Structure 1
Amino acid sequence: MVSGRTGARRVGLALGLAGLPATALAHITLLEPAPRHDQQKLGPCGAGTDDARGEVVSTFRPGQTITVRWQETVPHPGYFRISFDDEGQDAFVDPPEAGQSGDPAVVLVDLVADKDGRQTYEQAVTLPDVRCDRCTLQLVQVMTDKAPYGDGNDLYYQCADLVLSDDAPETSESPAADDASGGCRTGSAGPLALVLVLGRRRRRA
């Protein structure tokens, strides 16, 4: 028989887990440029075809070379692809087969090899020499251990909303997402982050 106090604790635990941020279950986390949001299961940008442009926008110069950084939080064999659409996200197309290179007019870097375990990646990417107010950078994780390919469980997506403008400084920076090195990102960190912060404060006291 479960006591009232034990039952209340179980309900509280269930509610707490339900409130954890989506990043707790994420496979990849785009760090720079800052991602649109944490959802990543439905293409082309993580939340399905009706996924709207977000409020966090990174501004760069046309043709600028930037460093794209991300973390693989759930390791899988496979590779990564980085693509660019100068007007929204309609140009993004899933690889028809694992290991097949994409359209070079859209795909900036392809077949970035996966590393063993949980890793942070850095990839230099030269943006197209275009001016755009609603352009998008897409990061895709292709998992080759999720057979058969194309069953809807082998791709994860993250997108960053960009503006490419001649008015951007040559050393323009992107808002950074949370990572282990102490970066920050706008928005609510969620209850898990609050627990971590309180724990750090208690250790320092």
Structure 2
Amino acid sequence: MLGLEAIRRTRRQALGGVFLLGVAGVFVPPLAHAHFILVTPDSWMSQDSLGLPEKLGPCGDEGGGTPTGKVTVFHPGQAISVTIDEVIFHPGHYRVALAVNDRSELPVEPTVTPNGGDPCGSAAIQNPPMFPILADKVLPHTQAFAGPQTFKVRLPADVTCTRCTLQVLEFMSSHPAPCFYHHCADISIQAAFVSTTSTTPPTVPAGGTTTATRPCPTPRCSVEAVVQGPACGADTIPEAIRRKLERAPELLEQAETSHPGKARVLRKKAKRLFERAGSAALRASRGQKPKLSAGCAASIKDTTDRLAGEL
């Protein structure tokens, strides 16, 4: 049998253990909730430094923000840039969907399968994605990002709208339920776009009203307008020239979300690419076996000269 002092010592140890467990329970930090900011396209709602509002679907509808009224213009089939800034990390990935007429068309949140003690163990992935989902399991990660992340999503080639909704959904594992955060952007998908270098006069219908076409609002739109326009429609643009024409707008889009020093570097690189693309187009139209028609080369050169001059 234990002596009296041994019994007292055992009780003190037991009580000490209980106290330590209680203290540990008090100071266990709560699970952090991940947050992200939708950088581009412009969000339909203002966001604070943590990305709020974003908790209530489909678009961060819990209140607390102010509608921005911003609508970003794209065109059918365009590969658009989406930039997010995950300001509080959790493992997971992103999904992008499009509602054309009403936000009720946005797909429901995917089915979540708990894993052990994690109620947000994994989420169902649509692979390949089917409309209205445009991309799924984007930016899968298990560690914090070093900064804002940009990825490409291609819009449907057969969809136009004046005000539709692009939803960016974040799935978070190692997280208490609910397992999703939401942001949306109001976008417009316009079928017609023209190069600002076009010399075609506006059409005057029988009624006498002039129909004017809206100039392209972005360098990417201007490039795609000339590449897909009447001057180059019958040409196969050499891959080296096409790469320059695609890369330059990408750099300018990155510059929009970069700090001033990096933005200047990106714009200089884009300017050089535009200049090289224009010169290469002219060279490709010369010689006994030209790779480009003279009209297409001139149209590319005019457009790239204008875009480079704006930088």
Normalised to the residue count of structure 1, the TM-score between the two structures is 0.64
Compare the two structures and name the one with the higher strand fraction. 1
Give the deviation of 1:181 after TM superposition.
Answer: 2.6
| Residue identity in the other structure for 1:109 | A
Establish whether residue 29 from structure 1 lines up as the match of residue 107 from structure 2.
no
Structure 1 portions without partners, runs of 5+: 1-24, 183-205
Q: Distance in 1 between matches of 2:257 and 2:55?
A: 20
Q: Distance in 1 between matches of 2:85 and 2:75?
A: 25
Larger Rg: 2
Compare the two structures and name the one with the higher helix fraction. 2
Normalised to the residue count of structure 2, the TM-score between the two structures is 0.43
- Higher relative CO (Cα under 8 Å, sequence separation at least 6) belongs to 1
Change (3 A) 1:29 1:179: farther
Q: Distance in 1 between matches of 2:100 and 2:60?
A: 18
Residue aligning to 2:259: 181
Equivalent of 2:166 in 137, 144, 155: 137
Establish whether residue 159 from structure 1 lines up as the match of residue 184 from structure 2.
yes
Residue aligning to 2:111: 96
Q: Distance in 2 between matches of 1:45 and 1:85?
A: 12
Report 1:51-200 matches (<5 A): 54-92=68-106, 93-97=108-112, 98-102=122-126, 104-112=130-138, 113-114=140-141, 116-118=143-145, 119-129=147-157, 130-147=159-176, 151-152=177-178, 154-168=179-193, 169=216, 171-172=220-221, 181=259
Equivalent of 2:58 in 44, 48, 62: 44
Give the deviation of 1:95 after TM superposition.
Answer: 1.0
Q: Do the aligned partners of 1:30 and 1:71 also contact (CA within 8 Å) in 2?
A: yes
Structure 2 portions without partners, runs of 5+: 1-32, 48-52, 113-121, 194-215, 222-248, 261-311
Aligned alpha-carbon RMSD (Å): 3.0
Q: Distance in 2 between matches of 1:46 and 1:29?
A: 11
Give the 3-state SS of the residue equivalent to 2:149 in structure 1.
strand
